[in-house]
Structure 1
Amino acid sequence: MVWEATMENFLLWGFYILTFYAFLPGLVSRTFGFRVFKKGRAAHEIALTFDDGPDPEYTPQLLDLLKRYDAKGTFFVVGVHAERHPELLRRMHEEGHIIGIHNYVHKTNWLMRPGTVKKQIHRTADVIKKATGERPAFYRPPWGIVNLFDFSNLGYLQIILWSALFGDWRKRVGADRLLARMMKKLRPGEVLLLHDCGATLGADREAPANMLVALASFMEEATSRGFRFVHIEEMIELTDKSKATMHTLGWFKRLLIACWMGWERIFHVLFRIKPTGEDPVLHHRIIKYKGKTLHLSDGGTIANKDPVLELHFDNHKLFQIMMDSRSVMHIAIRLIREVEKELPRLAARIAGREEYAKIRGLYGISMINRGAEQFGFSVLELPPGLFDKMTRLYLGTLMKVLHPSGRKRVQKRGDKLSPRIIAMSMDRFRERFGAPQVNYPWPASQSFEEQTESLTIPH
């Protein structure tokens, strides 16, 4: 009985120690981002990070791929591998990539004492310093697992985790499925975790071959959409700049924006407004148009009770563009570019789907200065009345909330910021944008804003 009680106490204390040493720090860091960096704020940038290398077969191929797209990556190297291939470290450094630490051997920090973890880090840092002449500033623990002392035991090192990983260490995932998973994270600010070596425990040695195939297609599509690949140091700088800009708005303005964004999410649920895909800037729903017949510039019409695709633009995306732009003209240019890229993707998204077969056209209500007609939209006056007044009030309030100098902007140009109907017949939409430009097995999406101050509301 005494032995049983002693063993029970021993196991209980072991559980307590393991919880506070390992489980809780890991949970806090992964869930709340405490003392770690795992996702950025950026307009068009994505951070590619690679673990477990370098590998003499796959890492050179990866470096060639990054060079082809003028991309910068972050390599978290395992010291024992790096020590065998200092020439690869030198090439990474010379080509502008960041090199971080991934322990000397690929072993979880939960199973090592704090002093052992520190030795692993210092030994790997010495390997990197010897090859490149610079000490690393970033650290990623294997499997992203930290212990209680990692937060204070790493000195100058910044812990880097990730916002998305894809199981690319398994060969059976395959390049196609891996690409489909990656495309769901084609969003600015993402920190993507991939592997350029399959020699670690639990990985398949040939798996990086699939990763390289998928990454090449991913980078090709991302580049065509205007994304840029940066190393983790630049992503952190962009994020810090974004946070600093946000704080210049004042607490009341930030509170208004947070409330408005929260209401928008509820609004989308209540009215069953669908996104076009992952991280969309365009949302839509099918409704029956209510109002007088719209006579469009191509000779088509949208009559009362005709089914239409009602467009809604993501106000969070619009706010990001406004915050990142230097002037109103810069906002306009960026929005028009987004429209040009997005409309073909919307066409690919709805092509061949039965629920869209009877749609007569696209419809929205926007504040427009310029640009809609060049994409085939007809711009029509909103009939005077209560709906016109409520629309004007709504969009004016939205501009005041979202634009950094929104109140001045609305007061200065109130005569020009008038709501208009934008509409396009489905025949014209298919004629101009109907040929799908993206041939992947996932929903086409990404980047759709209207031209200067184009904001949509439900009809």
Structure 2
Amino acid sequence: MKKILKIIGFSVLLLLVLLAGAFLYSRPWKNALFITPLHQIQTSEKVIALTFDDGPAKGRTPALLKLLKDKQVKATFFMLGANIKKYPTIAQQVHNEEHLIGNHSYSHPRMILKSPGFIKSEILRTEKLIQSLGQKDVKYFRPPYSSKFIVLPLVLSSMNKTLVTGTYDPPAEYGSPYNAQKVANQVIKNAQPGSIVYLHDGKKGDVLAFVKSVEIIIDQLHKQGYRFVRLDQIK
């Protein structure tokens, strides 16, 4: 009996160690089990992909679209299905102005310890809404909170989707009040060929400061010789 208990105890301990190792391996944006995340464009060319999460939103998204149109910049918007349903006209404008729309789930749940059925439902509900805007190919998925442990990568692989993380997420964007110059400086300082930059048009807060930060980023990186691409324009 003692021998059996020792074997069970050792097996449980080994399983916990393996799970902990897998979790730690999956934490960096460049790593995931069962699938290779798109965390950076592999290029020496001075290109950067601006990506915007959690929209569309009534405040930030229309103002951002105006700026991008004025600057002739295309970007990738990772949208929530619930927000597409709430603001369909704004979502349609994003598509009409030839930006790429990616899937960011329907309700923004953490996808650790979620069932395959739940994850598929979150993806497919949002995919259907994106397709209703006119974009038929919805290839790119960015997980809420960048949580990508075990089940999600398996589901995405089975659905032939691309798991997108990113290269840089400016910490100052989470500060209050929103400091446009600080956010922009962090992005510019960490810019490199092939960067995929995280920003958020779906957050509440100072619309003018948010748009100003994006304007500074675009202007300064243009001066450094960078151009901006949608994720599907990667060669």
Structure 1 counterpart SS, 2:51: strand
Matched ranges for 1:57-68 at <5 A: 57-68=59-70
1:163 is aligned, of 167, 171, 184, to 167
**1:55 alignment partner in structure 2:** 57
Matched ranges for 1:185-200 at <5 A: 185-198=190-203
Q: How many angstroms apart in 2 are the aligned matches of 1:82 and 1:16?
A: 40
Q: How many angstroms apart in 1 are the aligned matches of 2:201 and 2:132?
A: 22
**2:181 alignment partner in structure 1:** 176
Structure 1 counterpart SS, 2:29: helix
Farther off after superposition, 47-56 or 78-87: 78-87
Farther off after superposition, 46-55 or 217-226: 217-226
Deviations 1:15-63 (A, max 9, x none): 8399369725623x62446511111114121100010110011101111
Question: Are 2:38 and 1:37 equivalent residues in the alignment?
Answer: yes
Decide whether the 8 Å contact of 2:29 with 2:167 is kept in 1.
no
**2:224 alignment partner in structure 1:** 225
**1:413 alignment partner in structure 2:** none
Decide whether the 8 Å contact of 2:181 with 2:216 is kept in 1.
no
Which TM-score applies when normalising by structure 2?
0.83
Question: CA RMSD of the aligned region, Å?
Answer: 2.5
The AA in structure 2 aligned to 1:219 is I
The AA in structure 2 aligned to 1:62 is L
Q: How many angstroms apart in 1 are the aligned matches of 2:57 and 2:21?
A: 33
Q: How many angstroms apart in 2 are the aligned matches of 1:21 and 1:150?
A: 17
Q: How many angstroms apart in 1 are the aligned matches of 2:121 and 2:21?
A: 18
Matched ranges for 1:41-440 at <5 A: 41-154=43-156, 155-167=159-171, 168-198=173-203, 205-207=204-206, 209-235=208-234, 237=235
Farther off after superposition, 48-57 or 215-224: 215-224
The AA in structure 2 aligned to 1:170 is G
Deviations 1:408-435 (A, max 9, x none): xxxxxxxxxxxxxxxxxxxxxxxxxxxx
Post-superposition shift, 1:171? 2.7
Structure 2 counterpart SS, 1:165: coil
**2:19 alignment partner in structure 1:** 19
Kindly, what percent of the aligned residue pairs are identical?
26
Gaps in structure 2 of 5+ consecutive residues: none
Post-superposition shift, 1:111? 4.2
Q: Cα distance 1:114–1:57, how it changes in 2: closer, same or farther (>3 A)? A: same
Deviations 1:79-127 (A, max 9, x none): 1111112222222222221101111111111142222111100111011
The AA in structure 2 aligned to 1:186 is A
**Structure ID, larger Rg:** 1
Q: How many angstroms apart in 2 are the aligned matches of 1:185 and 1:89?
A: 30
Q: How many angstroms apart in 2 are the aligned matches of 1:61 and 1:117?
A: 32
Structure 2 counterpart SS, 1:181: helix
The AA in structure 1 aligned to 2:19 is T
Structure 1 counterpart SS, 2:131: helix
Structure 2 counterpart SS, 1:151: helix
The AA in structure 1 aligned to 2:26 is G
Deviations 1:320-375 (A, max 9, x none): xxxxxxxxxxxxxxxxxxxxxxxxxxxxxxxxxxxxxxxxxxxxxxxxxxxxxxxx
The AA in structure 2 aligned to 1:188 is P
Q: How many angstroms apart in 2 are the aligned matches of 1:48 and 1:58?
A: 15
Structure 2 counterpart SS, 1:226: coil
- Higher RCO (C-alpha 8 Å, min separation 6): 2
Structure 2 counterpart SS, 1:30: coil
Q: How many angstroms apart in 1 are the aligned matches of 2:57 and 2:47?
A: 26
Decide whether the 8 Å contact of 2:106 with 2:126 is kept in 1.
yes
Decide whether the 8 Å contact of 1:89 with 1:132 is kept in 2.
no
**1:321 alignment partner in structure 2:** none
Gaps in structure 1 of 5+ consecutive residues: 199-204, 238-459
Q: How many angstroms apart in 2 are the aligned matches of 1:120 and 1:73?
A: 23
Decide whether the 8 Å contact of 2:115 with 2:151 is kept in 1.
no
Farther off after superposition, 141-150 or 45-54: 141-150
Post-superposition shift, 1:70? 1.1
Q: Cα distance 1:18–1:169, how it changes in 2: closer, same or farther (>3 A)? A: farther
Decide whether the 8 Å contact of 2:113 with 2:151 is kept in 1.
no
The AA in structure 1 aligned to 2:184 is L
Decide whether the 8 Å contact of 1:20 with 1:148 is kept in 2.
no
Q: How many angstroms apart in 1 are the aligned matches of 2:136 and 2:90?
A: 15
